[in-house]
Amino acid sequence: MKKYILDLTVVDNVRLHSNYILLKMTQEATLPLMLPGQFAEIRIDGSASTFLRRPISINYVDIEKNEVWFLIQLIGDGTRQLSKVNRGDKINTILPLGKNFTLPKTNEQQKSLLIGGGVGTAPLLYLGKQLIENGYHPTFLLGARSSLDLLQLGDFQKFGQVYITTEDGSVGEKGYVTQHSILFQETFDMIYTCGPRPMMMSVAQYAQTHQIECEVSLENKMACGVGACLCCVENTNEGHLCVCKEGPVFNIKQLLWQI
């Protein structure tokens, strides 16, 4: 897919709980086609500590409003500076980057489970929309530290059944996503997951044991974002592959995870 460098205009910058923002951006021209799982490289100007761009997943695309959304956890200087942008500000963004999640291969009856942890739920919202539009019925399993880290619940509920775990038990079942009872009650044909690596590894292990197709979205540190610098590699059965270009979405069969 052709990649673009765009000066997008901020439509909205909404603080979610204390430590996340939902950034909605647009431009005059129709936004380029973006697919769930793909990401953008966002430029943050103005300080020595934000020299490189920041990779952020496409959270959602609102076609009618010509908006692209980013759900961002405030971690360090880069994301904190993003939290301060205002409506009307321009943000230089390169998109769409990387490979998208693939739709289930068989019939529409197929049951897919989308498991997100923390801010890793970001790309799953747009994926949920795509699955619905293609006639599938996604189920979501979202994990967070506490109720204050659960994001966009209402949006997810529009696309399917949502199950929740929190580490402190403040909402949903207490524990980790991989301990949720739904995994022991229902069977799924396809799992998509994004979140902290240890969480994705236990999801991958579950998928492997139950022989379920599973795609994970990785977050390796990146410099170029376009497959040129070879900084972001993951060990795979084809050697070192760039997460920014051959990923960020990988089928767990490609990865050499010790699970």
> Binding marks (x or -) toward ligand FMN, 122..161, rule CB under 6 A?
----------------------------------------
Distance, CA of 121 to CA of 195 (rounded, Å): 7
74 binds another protein (CB under 8 A): no
Is residue 231 near ligand FMN by the rule CB under 6 A?
yes
**Residue 139 backbone dihedrals phi, psi, to 5 degrees:** -115, 140
- Of 100 and 112, nearer to ligand FAD (C-beta) is 100
What are the backbone angles phi and psi of residue 58, rounded to the nearest 5°?
-75, 120
Long-range contacts of 235-244 (CB under 8 A, 24+ apart): 243/98, 243/218, 243/219, 244/55, 244/97, 244/98, 244/220
The answer to whether the beta carbons of residues 204 and 217 sit under 8 Å apart is no
Q: Dmax over Cα atoms in the chain, in whole Å?
A: 51
CA 123 to chain centre: 3
- Counting contacts by CB under 6 A, is residue 233 touching ligand FMN? no
11 binds, among another protein, ligand FMN, ligand FAD, none (CB under 5 to 8 A by kind): none
Between 25 and 224, CB nearer to ligand FMN: 224
CB of 217 to ligand FES, least distance (A): 14
By beta carbon distance, the residue nearest ligand FMN is 229
80: contact with another protein by CB under 8 A? no
CB 83 within 8 A of CB 75: no
d(CA 225, CA 242): 9
- Of 222, 249, 252, 255, which one interacts with another protein (CB under 8 A)? 222
Choosing from 201, 203, 232, 252, the residue that interacts with another protein (CB under 8 A) is: 232
Nearest to 8 by CA among 50, 61, 52: 61
CB of 43 to ligand FMN, least distance (A): 17
Which chain residues interact with ligand FES by CB under 6 A?
A: 222-225, 227-232, 242, 244
